[in-house]
Amino acid sequence: MKWDEAEWAALMRAGNAGDAAAYEQFLRAILPALRSFARGTVARTGPNVEAEDIVQETLVAIHLKRHTWIESEPIGPWMRAIARHKLIDALRRHGRHVRIPVEELEDVLPAEETTTDYPRRDLERHLDRLPARQRGVVQAIALDGRSIRETAEALKISEGAVRVALHRAVAALAAVMRLGAT
């Protein structure tokens, strides 16, 4: 099923502006795509989870969180993130563990906090242990004080890739510092 993001975004904007009919049309329009997504993911995870449960939980979450959608951003990634979270929640409830590669979540990972308990000089001392992309991201965000967006523009990579690189760099630096490496 095709994700018609432009139409959905227009309907959601109208719905968020108070047009109840447009919002109802939005919910009806996304339903087939959500069902297709849920059925496809449930088919890969096994019979422990009902696709329709995921669809219903996703619709409720979209309704409750519709104010969090940034109207200047595409609606598809926002909706897919909610649907993925609802699938993961359902699998957790049923005792099924799922491993999703971090690359598939790069658009939905929250920005990592840039403050650490370590002094700036320790961070600078260990920075050269990181791969170039991670080093550039940490330098820009943690040391130069740039935002995720500014860093993405400066390094000519997506904001999601900045978040992933920052997350990996923080984990790597934390491991190095925990081991007391010099």
The pLDDT score that the predictor gives to residue 130 is: 86
Q: What value does the mean pLDDT take over residues 95-100?
A: 56
The one-letter amino acid code at 90 reads: A
Mean pLDDT for 177-182 is 61
pLDDT recorded at residue 160:
87
Query: Distance between CA atoms of 126 and 120, rounded to whole angstroms?
Result: 10
Tokens of 118: 């370590």
CA distance 82 to 110: 13
Q: What is the pTM of this model?
A: 0.50
pLDDT score for 1: 44
| pLDDT tens digits, one per residue of 31-71 | 998 998 888 877 776 666 788 888 999 999 999 999 999 99
Domains of the chain: 5-100 (1.10.1740), 120-178 (1.10.10.10)
Reading the block at residue 6, the tokens are 């432009």
pLDDT of residue 110: 53
